[in-house]
Chains A and B, each alone.
Chain A
């Protein structure tokens, strides 16, 4: 059954589940109708701004390929969700007219296939049934190993998108296109913020890319996103920003290269999920992060999404050890996304100029989520 979610609903996690290979980007040369399907080849997905048509909704267990073409006018994403919106696989940043493939390992069970035109909201959902031989229950060590593999793929996909979007942002800055640069600023930062703890682990790259003005020592040059942000919003110009734009892209590429080969352990996932919420609590809720553009809520949501991605990767193992905690986490993640809803506008957010009372409300739901998230590491560490 297809359900079109109301547009005010939340943008959800974008973790890669058991994806076997990376989504591949190809030009959408052929645009054959999705209906032609002999039941063995890839599932064709025709995504538009209002529909998400699959060539079939019953597939065999094992490796499945989804070929997603975007015939709409908005950038879209495609997900396969397991129970509780756990992401089994995901491709994102599919521009209008583009086609991408998702290759994903799916055990027997009930799933949902979801398109997210505009990359917001609950998306356009439909059932997906996987039948065949039941898969053996994985043991906990295997589940934890799968969790890290899954999260590393997530980091990889975010890193790829980070480089793409930062390139677009930098190009706009260098072209002197203030309006386009302003539009791309929060979008490119979204991918940065989702994997911030990983990016931060690479030493001096984080301050070069993401320092705020008071993070800089006298005698050291201030560079990175916020340097350019100040010029764009305070002075409404890109003048003098070309060198910072070039430096930003160089630095981001170094982060991306490192992020693609990073290896993480389950505890790092749990701690990363916590740290992302710390970032929200200390920098985003207060409006200190993007003090010129007031695009803090983009970063806010990206941090929460990144946190959820790590938690979702750990979810099967957590479910075995502390099912009640999983329920609390699900509830409290929902509460945070719901609290953000009143600030949504178009495919993003209104400028963050909230009153103290509004900030307090956001702060409370973040604290409510951060507390159980902080317990995950202890549960994961238990033998």
Chain B
């Protein structure tokens, strides 16, 4: 009885927890193929799962993240495809704010473990998006995908100062869950991981709070854990022409299965928080290249004022220092390369020395990492004054295909 699929959590909430389905049909009812992104008007509603592009990229950045990288443990291509189909069905339900499975969290037989783990019962969809990407390691001999590996899905080079933990790097498949409710994001990853047991295994996962970029002009610029506004000049969903140029893989780029998709680079960037906090305000601003209060470029008054890289102080040195982060990361000094950043702050408790294990889980989408993330990061790793205060400890690169159409599944064009 497919009508029982996808019990609405809102419905349950509205019925004060009564264990009844609320007459909402299966997730297919919401599966409208649309050329336009459907955006939730508030932060409780659902974000359309299907579409030309995957949701969770230009979707106005939600406040919370649960990111998971998986190793595929099966060696059978069919099993992997089956899992991706099952995941896709679950993802459509989860993003619509429904329990997964036929019976959901609480309506199943008493003898069986509940299909849905249940911690999101009563919670709204909270703008959950689930975005999938495939890592370079998936394109080995196991699943016959070697010939389908996109040229742009390169192995990232070693950047100066990288101190990568292999256990927090790489992965065959990544799923980015973003939501305005942390429990909704965790619920999604938890249930996908559960579905995957025996086929895939979680390699590492990362919780994030506090988006560090805005991806829409309607959003205010948030602050990272250095206390600075981050992502002022980010690519935004309103910049549609630029998104085609910088974000989405075009037909001419190939391969076909990636058209409408984007490449994700993830970096777990540990911040030396305690060291940073002992740094004078003036030095902090010189390192970033922006005022800490306003977020305005140094020498300017407003956050969105254009950066004047030629302006000089009375002593003849640039107002925006040569080794400042904004200068070295700016498109003007990177052959026009831009990134759509949607990273998150993280604090994973403290480390063995009693310091906050904190930083930025950097997530950036782009059309071609060879022309975007890699050269930008090479320049930053050589010269950025910020390097004294950060260390990259985890890394991943993933090919995120275009969006799923109803009846299709994550990666269907790749496995076709």
Q: Which residues of A contact B (CB under 8 A)?
A: 214-218, 271, 274, 278, 281-282, 285-286, 288, 356, 359-360, 363-364, 367, 370-371, 373-374, 377-378
Closest chain A residue to B388, Cβ basis: A278
In the complex, the answer to whether A281 meets B354 with C-beta atoms within 8 Å is no
Name the B residues within 8 Å of A281 (CB-CB). Answer: 272, 274-275
- Report whether B355 and A363 are in contact in the complex, using a CB–CB cutoff of 8 Å: yes
Please tell me if the beta carbons of A364 and B280 are within 8 angstroms of each other in the complex: no
| Cβ-closest chain B residue relative to A267 | B280
Question: Could you list 16 A-B pairs, sorted by A, with CB under 8 Å?
Answer: A214-B163, A217-B378, A217-B382, A271-B280, A278-B275, A278-B278, A281-B274, A286-B353, A288-B163, A360-B354, A363-B353, A367-B355, A370-B274, A370-B275, A374-B278, A378-B280
A214 touches B162 (CB 8 A): yes
Cα A382 to Cα B382 with chains together (Å): 35
CB distance from A281 to the nearest CB of B (A): 6
Question: Is the pair A364, B275 in contact by a Cβ cutoff of 8 Å?
Answer: no
Q: How many residues of B contact A (CB 8 A)?
A: 22
Interface SS of chain B: helix, strand, loop or mixed?
loop
What CA separation (Å) do A285 and B159 show in the bound complex? 24
A253 CA / B320 CA spacing, docked (Å): 33
Which chain B residues have a beta carbon within 8 Å of chain A's beta carbons?
157-163, 272, 274-275, 278-280, 283, 352-355, 378, 381-382, 388
Max chain B Cβ within 10 angstroms of own Cβ: one of A214, A288, A370, A377: A214
CB-based contact A216/B274 at 8 Å:
no
Residue of A nearest to B163 (CB): A214
Q: Is the CB of B161 within 8 A of A214?
A: yes
Q: Are B353 and A285 in contact (CB under 8 A)?
A: yes
Q: What is the CA–CA distance of A271 and B353 in the complex, to the nearest angstrom?
A: 24
Give the chain B neighbours of A282 by CB distance below 8 A.
Answer: 272, 275
**How many angstroms from the CA of A364 to the CA of B353 in the assembled complex?**
8
- State how many angstroms separate the Cβ of A330 from the closest Cβ of chain B: 19
A-B residue pairs, 9 tightest by C-beta: A374-B278, A363-B353, A356-B352, A278-B275, A217-B160, A360-B353, A218-B158, A360-B354, A282-B272
| Complex contacts, A288 vs chain B, CB 8 Å | 163
Using CB atoms, name the residue of chain B closest to A278: B275
Q: Once the chains bind, are B354 and A364 in contact (CB under 8 Å)?
A: yes
Name the CB-closest residue of A to B353: A363
Task: Give chain A residues whose Cβ lies under 8 Å from the Cβ of B159.
Answer: 217
Residues of B within 8 A of A216 (CB): 160
CA distance A370 to B159 in the complex (A): 29
CB neighbours (8 Å) of B157 from chain A are 218
Name the CB-closest residue of A to B274.
Answer: A367
Q: How far is the CB of B185 from chain A (nearest CB, A)?
A: 31
A49–B382 CA distance with the chains assembled, in angstroms? 48
A359 to B355, alpha carbons, bound, how many Å? 12
A365 to chain B, nearest CB (A): 12
Closest-by-CB residue of B relative to A381 is: B280
Q: Determine the distance from Cα of A14 to Cα of B371 in the docked complex, in whole angstroms.
A: 51
What is the interface of chain A mostly: helix, strand, loop, or mixed?
Answer: helix
Complex Cα gap A371–B279 (Å): 10
Q: Could you tell me the distance between the alpha carbons of A363 and B378 in the complex, rounded to whole angstroms?
A: 31
Given contacts A360-B352, A363-B354, is CB(A217)–CB(B278) below 8 Å?
A: no
Q: Which residues from chain A contact B278 at a C-beta distance below 8 Å?
A: 274, 278, 370-371, 373-374
Q: Contacts of B160 on A, CB cut-off 8 Å?
A: 214-217
What's the minimum C-beta distance from B91 to chain A, rounded to whole angstroms?
Answer: 37
Whether B275 and A377, one on each chain, are in contact in the complex, defined by CB atoms closer than 8 angstroms, is no
Q: What is the chain B residue whose CB lies nearest that of A286? A: B353
- Report chain B residues within 8 Å CB of A378: 280
A358 to B242, CA, bound (A): 53
Distance from B315 Cβ to chain A, minimum over Cβ atoms (Å):
13
When chains A and B are docked, how far (Å) is the Cα of A278 from the Cα of B275?
6
When chains A and B are docked, how far (Å) is the Cα of A1 from the Cα of B354?
A: 44
CA distance A278 to B161 in the complex (A): 16
A362, closest chain B residue (CB): B353
- Docked-complex contact B158 and A217, CB < 8 angstroms: yes
Which of A281, A286, A288, A356 gathers most chain B CB within 10 Å?
A281
In the complex, which residue of chain A has the Cβ closest to the Cβ of B158? A218
Chain B neighbourhood of A360, CB < 8 A: 352-354
Residues of A within 8 A of B158 (CB): 214, 217-218
Nearest residue in B to A372 (C-beta to C-beta)? B278
Partner of A377, one of B272, B280, B353, B381: B280
Q: Select from chain A the residue with minimum beta-carbon distance to B391.
A: A282
With contact pairs A281-B274, A367-B274 given, residues A217 and B381 touching in the complex (Cβ less than 8 Å): yes
Q: Which listed residue, A215, A363, A377, touches B161 by the CB 8 Å rule? A: A215
CA distance A235 to B160 in the complex (A): 25
Closest residue of A by beta carbon distance from B278 = A374
Q: How far is the CB of B97 from chain A (nearest CB, A)?
A: 43
Q: Residues of B contacting A217 with CB < 8 Å?
A: 158-160, 378, 381-382
Of B157, B161, B163, B278, chain A has the most CB atoms within 10 Å of the CB of B278
CB-CB < 8 A to B388: which residues of A?
278
Instruction: Using CB atoms, name the residue of chain B closest to A377.
Output: B280
- B329 to chain A: closest CB distance in Å? 18
Residues of chain B within 8 A (CB-CB) of A271 are 280, 283
Nearest-neighbour CB distance to chain A for B374, whole angstroms, equals 12
Complex Cα distance, B257 from A249, in Å, reads 56
Closest to B355 in A: A363
Shortest beta-carbon distance from A6 to chain B in Å? 29
**In whole Å, how far is A354's beta carbon from the nearest beta carbon of chain B?**
11
Contacts of B354 in A (CB 8 A): 360, 363-364
Q: Which A residues touch B378, using CB under 8 A? A: 217
* Residues of the A chain whose Cβ atoms lie less than 8 Å from the Cβ of B353: 285-286, 356, 359-360, 363
Separation of A370 and B352 alpha carbons in the complex (Å): 19
CA distance A288 to B381 in the complex (A): 19
Residues in chain B near residue A359, CB distance under 8 A? 352-353
Report B-chain residues with C-beta under 8 Å of the C-beta of A278.
272, 275, 278, 388
A363 to B161, CA, bound (A): 22
Query: Which of B272, B353, B388 is the most central at the interface, judged by chain A CB atoms within 10 Å of its CB?
Result: B353
A378 to B283, CA, bound (A): 12
Distance to closest chain B CB from A35 (angstroms)? 51
Residues of B within 8 A of A367 (CB): 274, 355
Per the bound structure, the CA–CA distance linking A285 and B275 in Å amounts to: 13
Which single residue of chain B is at the shortest CB-CB distance from A217? B160
Query: Which residue on chain B has the smallest CB distance to residue A285?
Result: B353
Nearest CB of chain B from residue A373's CB, rounded to whole Å: 8
Instruction: Give the docked Cα–Cα distance between A199 and B278 (Å).
Output: 21
How far is it, in angstroms, between the C-alpha of A158 and the C-alpha of B354 when the chains are bound? Answer: 34
Complex CA–CA separation, A356 to B350 (angstroms): 13
- Kindly provide the distance from the CB of A1 to the nearest chain B CB, expressed in whole angstroms: 40
